[in-house]
A and B are shown apart, each in its own frame.
Chain A
Amino acid sequence: MTLNRRKLLQSMTALAAAGALPLPAFAQDRAIRHFWWGNPERDRRTFEVIEGFKAANAGINVTGETIGWGDYWTKMATQTAGGNMADVIQMAHTYIHEYAGRGALRGLNDYVGKGLDLSHYDAGANDVGTIDGQLYGINIGSTSQAIPYNIAAFEKAGISFDPLTWTTDDFAAICQKITDATGGAMTGSEDLSLYIETFEVWCRAAGHDMYNTDGTLAMTAEDVASYWAFWGGLRDAGIVEGKDATVILDKGMADLGIVKGTAAMTFRYANQVGAVQSLMTDPVGAAMVPQRPGMGFGHYVLPSMFLCLTRDSADVEAALAYINNWITNPEAIKILGIDRGIPPSQIGRDTLEPTLSPVEKNVVAYFGGIQDKIGPVPNATPKGAGEVRDAFMRIGTDVVLGYTPADEAAGMFIQDAQDILARAAG
């Protein structure tokens, strides 16, 4: 510890210098920021698109900001509160209503056709991002619900099935076969009791969404009870993963039974199947969420991610140019690949076709296969929907652990959900 005053002075000078270090370059006069959640692969692709845009638009500097999914929302909320959002942000369908509804995003209707070219988009591709008639989020990759399954395990158990038309009865029979074939070492599936995403499909198969157009609950206690009872039956039969694997909520890829080899199926969105594959040696396929016998299909197509223009954007023109480059420039589309989902336009899909890997080809084929089996996009989710999802998992846990019977818990959940919506609206 030989500190003296001169060293102190030096460090203060260094401090001042350090403060100036990460200042943005002053070479360009216009600057915009793009913030997304990512991973090394996505970050590499995105920065490449940014570089391409900068090369073509010498007057505009773009700063790329990236972090992982969980941390993204903490930082996003802080920046929003501080009035310092990036000009262009990536959005998820679970959050877009929360941000748009509170005025953090800019409506894009006025720019469509004037700086923003959406003419090549599939019909309805931007429905989920449109709230009360105003477009807030541009679809940058479509996806749909999927059941990733371990192809090798299916073959070993001698199973052949149609992944697009199978029913919950088929699903149960297959779980039984896989469990038998492996002597119980691998169960048929992860227990999806606590996935509200598959419950939503279950609900829609019965003919209604989870929420009404006015934001009230459309799901009923019967929907919930029958769903939990269905999985309870499989669990009691020992042909899906046990309660210890089930009660871990919001599993990351590393927690999935299909990755660990303890289950042959799980739930993910179609665009995530490739990520599951990257952690496994066995090949992975994608099937639809099985249909309830005699009922309709519950699937729908949704954007896995949106691009949004924010309230805090100072240079709207530059931000729009950036977004437009992203969705229309074939070079950008090629660089981005299907990492963020399947391009929501025929031009985009055609551009990518020759560049796809085998897993990606499967995903695109799956996506093509389900096109005639999907329903309309669900009604907009009200404020508080995220908390309802949490309540679904929490009360469902009591069912899985055997603390509360399914029908009683379902009643409790509906009551809780109503309270949550009332509090969120107030």
Chain B
Amino acid sequence: MKTNVIDPTSWDDDARIARGIKLRQQATARRARLLKHVFLIAFSGIMLYPLLWLVASSLKPEDQIFGSLSLWPSEWRWDNYTQGWNALPLSFTVFYKNSAIVTVLSVIGNLLSCSFAAYAFARLQFTGKTLFFGLMMMTMMIPYHVVLIPQYVLFLNLGWVDTYLPLIVPRFLAADGFFVFLMVQFFRQIPRELDEAAMIDGCSPFKIYWAVILPLSLPAMATAAIFSLIWVWEDFLAPLIYLNDINSYTVPLALRLFVDQEGQSAFGQMFAMSVLSLVPVLLFFVAFQKLIIRGIATSGMK
């Protein structure tokens, strides 16, 4: 620590020491940043390993997936992808198209209807608000498996079984309390002065929702869009129960056609198609997560 001793007599020294401190601070900051990167990269390795395993398995011949622990395929079976795409009675093109229809409509439905409900809960006064909020929370708590059959009977009587309606309509009716609650929490963080000012300007509640609340909630809406897309895309149980005709199957349902625990399976092709099924959601994630970040920049928040 000797070099750190400051000699008050020398101006020159003083300046040099000041520069030294600054350099050292920069070095510390650089080291901290480096450390952070090293940590992040190591951590990424752990996070990525299972995906690597999945990709590796998707490239292995069927009889080597379970026998060897090595990640490196002894021979590269790219045809798992090409054959897998057409291995089922219908090509995956059909399943992707079906999934796309269900997913796009569901995401739109979720964002619209849940933000309506959330705006009502977060900002408007009406009789029965607490009761309705409690009921909404309750719908999230009941295990889905016991409402499955009554719900099936209901949709059967409506004539909706074997159509996409049971998958889509509930999403336009804010059936997923998760998103309502999520948006409520974010809406309540927006300063009230903003809507009050708008109200004094004569804005209707709809105008306030549209022009004040929504633009200021971009991070929340982007988050909801991402979750909604991923969960609908990967949803398995509802399509399983409500879709009968293989022509209407979605991608997750199609993936389940590959593996027969009791008999002949096509694991390599299933892994290959599983990897491919991640691509659309991953692309969407990468595109939309920027909105979570940019949200604050555009909204400014005072």
A389 contacts the other chain (CB 8 A)? no
Is there contact, CB below 8 Å, between B101 and A21? yes
Among B47-55, B124-132, B265-273, the stretch in contact with A: B265-273
- Check B260 against A279 for contact (C-beta < 8 Å): no
User: Which of B30-38, B62-70, B176-184, B189-197 forms part of the interface with chain A?
Assistant: B62-70
Question: Would you give the shortest CB distance from A407 to chain B, in whole angstroms?
Answer: 33
Tell whether A56 is near chain B: CB-to-CB under 8 Å: no
Chain A residues closer than 8 Å to B165, beta-carbon distance: 18-19
Choose the segment among B2-10, B17-25, B145-153, B226-234 that binds chain A (4+ C-beta atoms closer than 8 Å): B145-153
Q: B64 to A42, Cβ gap below 8 A?
A: no
Separation of A260 and B259 alpha carbons in the complex (Å): 17
Asked whether any CB of chain B lies closer than 8 Å to the CB of A339, the reply is yes
If A43-B89, A81-B152, A82-B153 touch, whether A68 touches B256 (CB-CB below 8 Å) is yes
Could you say which residues of chain A place their CB within 8 Å of the CB of B259?
39, 68, 252
Report yes or no: A275 in contact with B265, Cβ–Cβ below 8 A. Answer: yes
Query: Is the CB–CB distance between A18 and B105 below 8 Å?
Result: yes
Q: Is the CB of B64 within 8 A of A281?
A: yes
Chain A residues contacting B111 (CB-CB under 8 Å) are 1, 3
Q: Mark B240-255, 1 if CB is under 8 A from A, else 0.
A: 1101111110000100
Partner of A259 from the list B67, B109, B221, B247 (CB cut-off 8 Å) is B67
**Residue contact A280 to B89, C-beta cutoff 8 Å:** no
B105 and A78 form a contact (CB under 8 A): no
A69 lies within 8 A of chain B by Cβ: yes
Given contacts A1-B221, A23-B163, A82-B156, contact A38 B261 (CB under 8 A): no
Are the CB atoms of B263 and A275 closer together than 8 Å?
A: yes
B116-145 residues with Cβ-Cβ distance < 8 A to A are none
* Docked pose: A413 CA to B65 CA in angstroms: 37
Of A8-16, A104-112, A201-209, A294-302, the segment with at least 4 beta carbons within 8 Å of chain B is A8-16
Interface residues on A, range: 35 or more
Q: Check B201 for interface membership: any CB of A closer than 8 A.
A: no
Complex: how many Å from CA A84 to CA B159?
11
Chain A CB within 10 Å, residue with most, of B172, B259, B264, B266? B264
- Binary per-residue interface labels of chain A (297-314) against chain B in the complex, 1 for a CB within 8 Å, 0 otherwise: 000000000000000000
Residue A63, interface by CB 8 Å: yes
Of residues 153 through 186 on chain B, the ones whose CB sits less than 8 Å from some CB of chain A are: 153, 156, 160-165, 168-169, 172
Known: A22-B245, A22-B248, A39-B266. A74 touches B240 (CB 8 A): yes
Asked if A39 meets B258 with Cβ closer than 8 Å, knowing A19-B160, A24-B245, the reply is: yes
Give A281 to B253 CA distance when docked, in angstroms.
30
- Cross-chain contact A63 with B261 (CB below 8 angstroms): no
The reply to whether A260 and B246 form a contact with Cβ atoms under 8 Å apart is: no
A-B contact count (CB 8 A): 167
> Is B266 a contact partner of A40 (Cβ separation < 8 A)?
yes
B260 touches A81 (CB 8 A): no
Is A281 a contact of B258 with CB atoms below 8 Å?
Answer: no
Any chain B CB within 8 A of the CB of A67? yes
- Is there contact, CB below 8 Å, between B63 and A280? yes
* A78-B149 contact given A1-B221, A20-B163, A40-B88, CB 8 Å threshold: yes
Known: A18-B165, A21-B101, A275-B265. 17 other contacts (CB 8 A): A11-B108, A19-B163, A22-B248, A39-B260, A40-B266, A65-B246, A68-B260, A69-B260, A75-B241, A81-B149, A83-B156, A84-B161, A259-B67, A260-B66, A261-B67, A274-B264, A279-B62
A-B contact pairs, 18 of them (CB 8 A): A15-B168, A22-B247, A23-B162, A24-B162, A64-B89, A64-B246, A65-B244, A66-B257, A67-B256, A74-B241, A75-B240, A81-B149, A82-B161, A252-B259, A252-B262, A275-B265, A279-B66, A339-B263
Chain A positions near chain B (C-beta within 8 angstroms) = 1, 3, 8, 11-12, 14-15, 18-24, 33, 35, 37-44, 47, 63-71, 74-75, 77-79, 81-84, 86, 250, 252-254, 259-261, 271-272, 274-275, 278-281, 339
